[in-house]
């Protein structure tokens, strides 16, 4: 019988303890942070080395068994969901920092290292790893590479792609490739490392990662502005970029703040509420921060601002922004992670907000995101009395209109979370059919049997 020979083969590779088939494990390993699918993997396998990953992929090829590579499962687009009897391949045991090169300023680690542990290892060696976001305490470096993660400091440091110097991968065919070997200069033909970054597990398994490290930034400060509208937010962004060395420029709507204050024991930044808020992090500069506030006054913009004077204040101001996703999670929001050109942001939010109010009431739209790079997170909340099926149907209808607007302004349907299952039906709003066809052919080259995360990104 297929299952018994398959499971015996997997047990031979990883040992009995690291092949999990109990219901609790299948539930846990079969889902990411999306709530729209029922987990149904056949098993979860936990290899400890590149060779074990290679052997598992080769065995799966022989059995024509689909594999879902699994990191910290903090993904927000269903990329790590296993709902069709797939084998979940978790990298969680490949969690060692393998080498820190303090001269070359790089760090090599297993793909299963938690992102926050890379931050810590960089710090302990006098460096800084800048890719950071609210889930970095649970997400893994392999997952960050596979999603080309962004986060809060992209405006200054770029996305994950910018920091990946080398990858050791097992392709869907079971070949081990050492891509770029951590080199800075290597012009020797096509750079397959770049294909694996953002590939969402459809080409193969990322096993080891070499990351560049940055100089630690000078001491920073955080300011939160309460603002009358999104035009004021963009005026603030333009002037802040002129006057300050920014490392983050985030925004959130007033109802996003309301959800955070209702869920967490945090203090509101101002005695009165504003329609939207901008959060800026920058290299310490008290004078510029003051003149930024004066600039808004000169423009006739009625704003309020609070600035941090201690690490505790930095943390409590950031908590207003970083806790938004958690504060909404119990409401099972329909999430969209959109990028639009920066000049379009105010009109885009106004148009979509107006559409939701006029045609989709009582759906509630919560806006926040990394507006400094045009990245808007739109979260639609389910009314308590609606069942999930009606909610999903309404959200799909709404999303067609939203994504048509994204397409017409030259934006992207997925700024940083990836396509996964959630955005697969909408891929044509961002990519030409000729591009998707080429993606299929690239996948077939790395994964001829089509066993790597099938059904994700495209069919």
Positions that interact with ligand FAD (CB under 6 A):
32-33, 68-76, 79-80, 91, 111, 133-135, 139-140, 142-144, 146-147, 149-151, 200-201, 205-206, 325-326, 416-417, 420, 453, 456
3-state class of 294 per DSSP?
A: helix
The β-bridge relationship of strands 67-70 and 87-90 is: parallel
Least distance from ligand FAD to the Cβ atom of residue 200, Å: 4
Least distance from ligand FAD to the Cβ atom of residue 61, Å: 16
**Greatest CA span in the chain, whole angstroms?**
77
Q: Are 327 and 405 in contact (CB under 8 A)?
A: no
Least distance from ligand FAD to the Cβ atom of residue 31, Å: 9
Q: Which CB sits closer to ligand FAD, 292 or 338?
A: 338
Q: Which CB sits closer to ligand FAD, 325 or 394?
A: 325
Q: Which CB sits closer to ligand FAD, 180 or 325?
A: 325
Least distance from ligand FAD to the Cβ atom of residue 394, Å: 24
Q: Are 307 and 220 in contact (CB under 8 A)?
A: no
Residue with smallest beta-carbon separation from ligand FAD = 143
Least distance from ligand FAD to the Cβ atom of residue 59, Å: 17
Q: Which CB sits closer to ligand FAD, 144 or 394?
A: 144
As beta bridge partners, residue 99 has: 108
Q: Which CB sits closer to ligand FAD, 337 or 364?
A: 337
Q: Which CB sits closer to ligand FAD, 281 or 416?
A: 416
Q: Which of 141, 149, 258, 263 is nearest to 208 (CA)?
A: 141
How far apart are alpha carbons 324 and 359 in whole angstroms?
25
Least distance from ligand FAD to the Cβ atom of residue 205, Å: 5
List of residues 6+ apart from 151 with CB closer than 8 A: 131, 132, 133, 136, 370, 416
Q: Which CB sits closer to ligand FAD, 327 or 394?
A: 327
Q: Which of 428, 397, 433 is nearest to 413 (CA)?
A: 428
Q: What are the strands of the beta sheet with 97-101, ordered from one edge?
A: 97-101, 106-110, 204-212, 164-171, 176-179
How far apart are alpha carbons 16 and 6 in whole angstroms?
13
Least distance from ligand FAD to the Cβ atom of residue 180, Å: 16
H or E element that contains 70: strand 67-70
Q: Which CB sits closer to ligand FAD, 150 or 212?
A: 150
How far apart are alpha carbons 409 and 28 in whole angstroms?
39
């Amino acid at each position: 019988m297929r299952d018994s020979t398959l499971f015996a083969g997997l047990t031979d590779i990883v040992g009995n303890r690291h092949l999990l088939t109990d219901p609790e494990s299948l539930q846990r390993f079969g889902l990411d942070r999306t709530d729209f699918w029922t987990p149904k993997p056949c098993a979860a396998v936990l290899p400890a080395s590149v060779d074990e990953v290679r052997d598992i992929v080769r065995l799966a090829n022989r059995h024509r068994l689909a594999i879902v590579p699994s990191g910290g499962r903090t993904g927000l687009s269903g990329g790590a969901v296993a709902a069709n009897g797939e084998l979940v391949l978790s990298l969680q045991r490949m969690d060692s920092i393998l080498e820190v090169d303090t001269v070359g300023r790089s760090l090599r680690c297993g793909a299963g290292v938690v992102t926050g542990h890379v931050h810590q290892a960089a710090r302990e060696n006098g460096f800084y790893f800048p890719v950071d976001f609210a889930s970095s305490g649970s997400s893994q470096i392999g997952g960050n590479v596979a999603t080309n993660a962004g986060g809060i400091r992209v405006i200054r440091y770029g996305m994950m792609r910018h920091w990946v110097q080398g990858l050791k991968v097992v392709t869907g065919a079971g070949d081990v490739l050492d891509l770029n070997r951590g080199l800075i200069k290597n012009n020797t033909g096509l750079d397959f490392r770049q294909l694996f970054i953002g590939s969402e597990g459809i080409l193969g398994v990322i096993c080891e990662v070499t990351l560049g490290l940055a100089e630690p930034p000078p001491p920073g400060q955080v300011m939160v502005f309460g603002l009358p509208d999104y035009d004021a937010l963009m005026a603030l962004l333009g002037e802040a970029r002129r006057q300050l060395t920014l490392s983050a420029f985030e925004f959130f709507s007033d109802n996003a703040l309301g959800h955070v204050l209702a869920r967490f024991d945090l203090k509101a930044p101002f005695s009165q509420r504003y329609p939207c808020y901008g959060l800026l992090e920058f290299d310490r500069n008290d004078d510029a921060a003051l003149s930024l506030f004066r600039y808004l006054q000169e423009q006739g913009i009625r704003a309020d601002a609070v600035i941090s004077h201690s690490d505790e204040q930095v943390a409590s101001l950031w908590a207003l922004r970083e806790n938004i996703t958690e504060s909404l999670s119990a409401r099972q929001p329909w999430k969209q992670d959109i990028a639009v050109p920066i000049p379009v942001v105010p009109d885009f939010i106004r148009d979509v907000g107006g559409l939701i109010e006029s045609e989709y009431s009582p759906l509630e739209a919560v806006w926040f995101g990394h507006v400094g790079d045009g990245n808007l997170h739109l979260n639609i909340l389910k009314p308590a009395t609606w069942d999930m099926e009606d909610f999903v149907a309404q959200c799909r209808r709404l999303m067609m209109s939203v994504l048509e607007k994204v397409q017409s302004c030259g934006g992207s349907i997925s700024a940083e979370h990836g396509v996964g299952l959630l955005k697969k039906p909408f891929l044509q709003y961002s990519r030409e059919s000729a591009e998707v066809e080429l993606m299929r052919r690239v996948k077939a080259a790395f994964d001829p049997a089509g066993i790597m995360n099938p059904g994700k990104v495209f069919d």
